Structure 1
């Protein structure tokens, strides 16, 4: 597990519910539960600061770190998709993004592609991406942020032909790859869930730090589906679709581990003390 990716999981699953800020000493101890060294954690924090995901401040001789507004927005989007509710009835409208970004600005073009992929868009052609979800406002925001509005067009549109909607999904997304990923998730985590459930039912005590590690790894792995599954409306799902089974397993295992995992986080987390006006920001 890469330290930077794990930091996103720690912030998204825990820190955001505790005021959004955490002392670096607490972070290094928490990350140490996964075998990550203090040096590796501090290096990851430094990279996230440079990339604009984190902001920092000093209180006395202690450094505290919080997600930047950009980072917080990313965490909110991820949480909404991980803990998603049942999709509403699809109205048949597609969100389409088309761009023609000059070669001299290819870094921005590559960044836009990453953002579209993160949001769940599928590539219809090299410079045209589609999504069955209404993401026009989010795309507008991204294009304004990257200052590429002159090169991007955004549509809410109807598909008139010729592919069947299900065929269009298979054309733009790798459905077999998604199903295989869900199958692997189920094969890995169902035995773990059943083992822990049996131990608890038998009255066996499960250490809090073990639950913290396992729950965090569970969320960390499940979060990867954000990059491959756009959360298709039911009307577009294939006959064989394992996302619902994987999601139920995730919810059950998460519920089992959550209380003890949170208790361990509570024991390690140290909130920033109240400070006076002479607080030093960095």
Structure 2
């Protein structure tokens, strides 16, 4: 049962570094954030990554401060940077428990002003707002559903930029134009294309597993295949909830693929997640 049989060739697989970050985020925190190098190479090998590619990608992640090297039981190992733990914890909620606002909920407004002498900070501010899923009303005014307020505030506080930002909860008073405005504030066609790509890649994989589930006995090979299907799926998915602010359904285009993609992710997470975890723990817990 080869993953390539059901994955369209036109859609590229996630980059090696992204796969490694996903594996650490899913499984390393049960191991004090640490994987022996040999275990990491085996797990990434099950995802089709050669050992040289693993070592090269780990080296890049180390330079970026994502991973730190150490010895565990006398063996070479890499640990997730402790500075990133709160980021991964916040990511768990955004990725696995996405929230969708309701019509009539308050909006978050973020206004920032940066002195000309510190204009280099403007790009950093815009990057944080974009990564949080905010839309741009004007160069210095951004908007998002109000339920993102705490997360946005945390990101600015973590970056030491709260002195430049004012956050407000607000009500939109010209409700009749809101759907048109939402299409101006967010690049929904680009996001729709990413969701459609996710569905096209992973829907056949889910269908294959649903056919197998009823009569396939659990084996090491089955768990390994679940791991090989699940980790790339999570890797492709995990950036989408950050790009999608969780707008009310009433403000979204008709036949929005984001809703189908979210349902697909939930089904694959429930079906493959436990199997993939059992396989990963059988490798990293063996030493």
Q: Which residue of 1 aligns with 2:58?
A: 45
Q: Structure 2: where are the runs of 5+ without partners?
A: 1-13
Distance 1:63 1:164, change over 3 A: farther
Q: Give how far 1:219 is off.
A: 0.9
Give TM-score scaled by structure 2 length.
0.80
Asked if residue 76 in structure 1 is aligned to residue 89 in structure 2, the reply is yes
Moved more, 18-27 or 185-194: 18-27
CA contact (8 A) 1:22 1:270 kept: no
The 5-angstrom pairing of residues 71-220 of structure 1 reads: 71-84=84-97, 87=100, 89=102, 92-102=105-115, 105=118, 107-161=120-174, 164-203=177-216, 207-220=222-235
Query: Aligned residues, how many?
Result: 272
Residue in structure 2 matching 1:232, options 240, 247, 267? 247
CA deviations 1:68-104 (Å, max 9, x no partner) are 3442222222221222166464653221222233566
Tell me the equivalent position of 1:27: 40
Deviation readout 1:31-86 (Å, 9 max, x if unpaired): 12223233433333333334333344334532443333442222222221222166
Match of 1:241 in 2: 256
3-state SS, counterpart of residue 173 of structure 2: coil
- Judged with a 3 Å threshold, the aligned counterparts in structure 2 of structure 1 residues 107 and 214 are, in CA distance, closer, same or farther, namely farther
- Contact 2:94 2:242 (C-alpha < 8 Å) held by counterparts: no
Deviation at 1:162, TM superposition (A): 7.7
RMSD of aligned alpha carbons:
2.9
1:132 Cα shift?
0.8
Q: What's the secondary structure of 1:257's corresponding residue?
A: helix
Give unpaired runs (5+ residues) of structure 1. Answer: 273-282
Distance (Å, rounded) in 2 between the aligned partners of 1:148 and 1:79? 24
Change (3 A) 1:147 1:227: closer
Secondary structure class of the residue paired with 1:189: helix
CA contact (8 A) 2:68 2:81 kept: yes
Q: 1:162 to 1:90 in 2, by over 3 A?
A: closer
With the length of structure 1 as denominator, give the TM-score of the two structures: 0.81
Q: 1:14 aligns to what SS in structure 2? A: helix
**Counterpart mapping for 1:259-274 below 5 A:** 259-270=274-285
1:223 matched residue in structure 2: 238
